[in-house]
């Protein structure tokens, strides 16, 4: 429907009315004396909708297993359907499911928050999402992600300092917890963007929903770098790092975590100055990481691993700065 204008008319002593486009009336089967919803938007616009309340709309996505012969491809398709807000996902096959297909589907239900297998046969699986988006506030999810990624980074550096391979492996496993929350945030944003009434009932604007998604993305990347540090701890194996180098790495790590904590505080306190200070300190973090001295001339496996660790520490701080930029944009 093209952009149209309507003149405001005055009736009675204090009532103002406008006419509604006939094409829109016909499309939504609106009759005389029907009740419409009116929502005032933060930007001054007025939303008129035939949908008085948010109702559960079961969006269904069918996936044919034969179209996704690769396990990773099928998993990505399932995650994509979940993120795009489908509440029912049906996986079909013309033949009996191979075991790897069932394994992939179960992996999906384990990592995604909400979806559960409701029906199942030899060549048919129906998954239904059981989580109400309003029951999972964005703020709580983001705060939990902050805590998780901070702990992952701290434990990864501790594993490096102590040579604890088991601890490093635990950090790698924790990445699934962050991924689950990140997928949930992306799903909620998709739903909110398609249902402005739900968005308002969740107490956020569309712009804030997008900002939450951006923050979630950067937190997920910080978690990925904690995993990279842990993998390099495993690669180092029994190789010992001298105390001076360990202290330099730990100092840079603490600096990086300080930037992450500043971005969290800036978000919680809605403090634009604190967010700006976090961004300004990135240059000092980069300088700190560049001053870490270790012998990389022989290009040994241990030197490469240490180089990657230092790079991940720097990237963690830079992502914290990116989060602070989003906070400034939102507060502005």
**Nearest alpha carbon to residue 306 among 219, 224, 239:** 239
Which pair of tokens denotes residue 126? 């129906």
CA 222 – CA 321 distance, rounded (Å): 11
CA 164 – CA 172 distance, rounded (Å): 13
pLDDT for the residue numbered 55 = 47
CA 202 – CA 197 distance, rounded (Å): 9
Residue 234 in contact with residue 295, Cβ under 8 Å?
A: no
Helix axes 282-290, 243-269, angle to 10 degrees: 170
155 and 125 share a domain?
Answer: no
C-alpha 46, offset from chain centre: 30
297 and 148 share a domain?
Answer: yes
The H or E element spanning position 119 is strand 115-120
**Nearest alpha carbon to residue 161 among 259, 248, 286, 31:** 248
Residue 185 in contact with residue 142, Cβ under 8 Å?
A: yes
Domain-embedded: residue 186: yes
19 and 97 share a domain?
Answer: no
Answer with the residue of higher pLDDT: 24 or 97.
Answer: 97
228 and 250 share a domain?
Answer: yes
pLDDT for the residue numbered 52 = 57
104 and 253 share a domain?
Answer: no
Domain-embedded: residue 32: yes
Q: Per-residue pLDDT for 26 more than 90? A: no
Pick the last residue of a domain from 73, 103, 133: 133
Which pair of tokens denotes residue 51? 């949908």
Which domain covers residue 232, as residue numbers? 134-331
Domain-embedded: residue 2: no
Q: What is the mean pLDDT of residues 65-75?
A: 92
Residue 93 in contact with residue 79, Cβ under 8 Å?
A: no
Strands 88-92, 60-64: pairing is: parallel
The residue with tokens 């009740």 is 35
245 and 308 share a domain?
Answer: yes
C-alpha 188, offset from chain centre: 9
117 and 14 share a domain?
Answer: no
Average pLDDT score, the chain: 88
Residues 228-273: pLDDT tens digits? 999 999 998 877 788 889 999 999 999 999 999 999 999 999 999 9
Of 29-43, 54-68, 137-151, which has the strongest mean pLDDT? 137-151
Domain-embedded: residue 225: yes
Answer with the residue of higher pLDDT: 4 or 166.
Answer: 166
Answer with the residue of higher pLDDT: 288 or 295.
Answer: 288
Domain-embedded: residue 54: no
CA 316 – CA 225 distance, rounded (Å): 7
Residues 163-213: pLDDT tens digits? 999 999 999 999 999 999 999 999 999 888 877 777 777 777 888 889 999
Give the chain's domain count: 3
For the entire predicted model, the pTM comes to: 0.82
C-alpha 260, offset from chain centre: 17
pLDDT for the residue numbered 58 = 64
Domain-embedded: residue 294: yes
Answer with the residue of higher pLDDT: 54 or 166.
Answer: 166
**Nearest alpha carbon to residue 49 among 232, 199, 250, 264:** 199
Report which DSSP code applies to 318.
H
Residue 136 in contact with residue 203, Cβ under 8 Å?
A: no
Which pair of tokens denotes residue 82? 């979940």
Residue 127 in contact with residue 89, Cβ under 8 Å?
A: yes
Pick the last residue of a domain from 109, 133, 157: 133
36 and 161 share a domain?
Answer: no
Q: Hey, which residues does 46 pair with through a beta bridge?
A: 40
pLDDT for the residue numbered 215 = 96
The dihedral of CA 162, 164, 167, 173: what is its sign?
positive
């Amino acid at each position: 429907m093209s952009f149209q204008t309507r003149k405001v008319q005055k009736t009675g002593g204090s009532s103002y009315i406008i006419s509604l486009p006939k094409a829109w009336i016909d499309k939504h089967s609106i009759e005389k004396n029907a009740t419409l919803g009116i929502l005032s938007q933060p930007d001054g616009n007025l939303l008129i909708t035939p949908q008085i309340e948010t109702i559960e709309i079961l969006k269904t996505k069918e996936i044919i297993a034969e179209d996704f012969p690769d396990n990773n491809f099928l998993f990505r398709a399932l995650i994509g359907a979940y993120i795009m807000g489908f509440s029912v996902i049906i996986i079909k096959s013309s033949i009996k499911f191979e075991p790897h297909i069932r394994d992939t589907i179960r992996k999906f239900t384990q990592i995604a928050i909400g979806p559960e297998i409701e029906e199942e046969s030899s060549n048919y699986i129906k998954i239904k999402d059981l989580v109400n988006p309003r029951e999972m506030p964005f703020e709580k999810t983001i705060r939990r992600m902050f805590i998780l990624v901070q702990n992952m980074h701290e434990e990864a550096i501790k594993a490096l300092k102590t040579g604890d391979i088991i601890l490093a492996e635990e950090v790698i496993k924790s990445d699934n917890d962050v991924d689950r929350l990140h997928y949930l945030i992306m799903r909620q944003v998709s739903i909110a963007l398609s249902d402005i009434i739900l968005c308002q009932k969740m107490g956020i604007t569309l712009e804030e929903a997008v900002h939450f998604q951006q923050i979630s993305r950067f937190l997920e990347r910080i978690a990925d770098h904690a995993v990279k540090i842990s993998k390099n701890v495993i690669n180092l194996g029994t190789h010992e790092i001298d105390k001076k180098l360990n202290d330099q790495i730990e100092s840079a790590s603490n600096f990086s975590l300080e930037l992450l904590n500043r971005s969290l505080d800036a978000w919680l306190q809605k403090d634009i100055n604190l967010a700006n200070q976090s961004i300004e300190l990135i240059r000092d973090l980069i300088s700190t990481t560049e001053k870490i001295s270790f012998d990389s001339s022989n290009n040994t496996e241990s030197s490469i691993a240490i180089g990657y660790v230092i790079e991940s520490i720097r990237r963690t701080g830079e992502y914290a700065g990116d989060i602070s930029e989003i906070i400034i944009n939102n507060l502005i």
